[in-house]
Amino acid sequence: VKRLVGNVLEKMQKEYQVDVAGFGNRLRIEHPKVWKKVKKDWDQTFSETPINYHVKLTIKDYGTSGGSKK
C-alpha cells in the first residue's frame, strides 16, 4: 500500500503536476497566510514540494467471498 501511495504521489507531482488530491485546499484552510503566497503558482509549487506520508493498514476481514460451504 505504501508503494502504491508513493507511486500515485509521484505521478501527480512529476508527470501531471496537478494537485488532484486537495493538498492546496487543506493548506488554504489550515494556513491561509501561506496559501495567499503560493496560490498563484500552486501547481508548480505542489510539483516541487516534498510530501511525507504514513500508511496504517487495518484488515477487518479476510477469506473468500461467494457461495456458502456445504
What rounded mean pLDDT belongs to the chain?
A: 91
Alpha helices in 1-70 (DSSP H): 2-10, 23-30, 32-38, 42-48
Q: Hunting for cell 500508511 — which residue is that?
A: 55
Q: Grid coordinates standing for 55?
A: 500508511
63: left (phi over 0), alpha (psi -120 to 50) or beta: left
For the segment 6-17, the average pLDDT, to the nearest whole number, is 95
The Cα 10–Cα 12 span in angstroms is: 5
Q: Which pLDDT value is given to residue 64?
A: 74
**For 28-53, how does the pLDDT look when each residue is reduced to its tens digit (9 = 90+)?**
999 999 999 999 999 999 999 999 99
Tell me which amino acid residue 30 is: E
